[in-house]
Amino acid sequence: MIEVQPVFALSQLRRTYQVGDELVHALDGVDLTIEDREFLAVIGTSGSGKSTLMHLLGFMDSPTSGAMVFEGQDVSSISRGVRAQLRATRIGFVFQSFNLLPRLTVLDNVLLPLIYSRSTVGNKKEQAMQALERVGMEHRFSHRPSQLSGGERQRVAIARSLINQPRLILADEPTGNLDSKNRGRIMELFTSLMEQGITLAMVTHDDEVAAYAGRHIRMEDGCIIEDSKR
């Protein structure tokens, strides 16, 4: 049997910022392993370090010190260019505000990551339609974001995050702009994607949303103070 590498293994990870004459320890010695096909919720108040952690997991920043291993490779001090390549090809992003371009159709919005990553995939539109089918939005491919409900827009954003077949999806308050009915639908969709092989890390302030995750990471003052599994 082939052993599956953890998606991420972080050891004594620190991220320090200089603010005037003061050093701010946004992350202060974080140890965390994210396993394959895991669904975890990162919970904490503003300033707890959860956003900094997500920026590092998404290759939008580099740690000040500590070890950061992705898919078995040390990525603690990789160049900006390598970070950009990993961000474009191995990580999917879902945001609270959807971040869809209003002038583009649903299909063209989903295609954007393939264009940005200069993908050599032959039939990009077919791949985009397959991503839309996974979230139940293939029938809206020619619509524009303004013609969709909030829940539908988030489904399109999730399809866009899937287009490059990422190893990890990072979701930042993905239900923050949705009503309770659409919130539940989006979380059920995330759960079904995890069952299809997606690994998901989600930041949320909502305990009802966090309850869908199989693992809870609670942060405070740049540290993990609770790591519990259902």
pLDDT one-digit tens code per residue, 24-54: 899 999 999 999 999 999 999 888 999 999 9
Q: Is a pLDDT exceeding 90 seen at residue 196?
A: no
pLDDT in tens, 95-148: 888 899 999 999 999 998 888 777 666 688 888 999 999 899 999 999 999 999
Domain residue limits, the chain: 39-50+80-229
The pLDDT, as a whole number, for residue 16 is 95
pTM: 0.90
Average pLDDT, the chain: 91
As a whole number, mean pLDDT of residues 11-34 equals: 93
CATH number of this structure's domain 39-50+80-229: 3.40.50.300
Encoding tokens for residue 170? Answer: 């990072």
Long-range CB pairs of 142-146, under 8 A, 24+ apart, other chains included = 142/105, 142/106, 142/107, 143/105, 143/106, 144/102, 144/103, 144/104, 144/105, 144/106, 145/98, 145/100, 145/101, 145/102, 145/104, 145/106, 145/109, 146/102
Question: How many CB atoms are located within 10 Å of the residue 54 CB?
Answer: 19
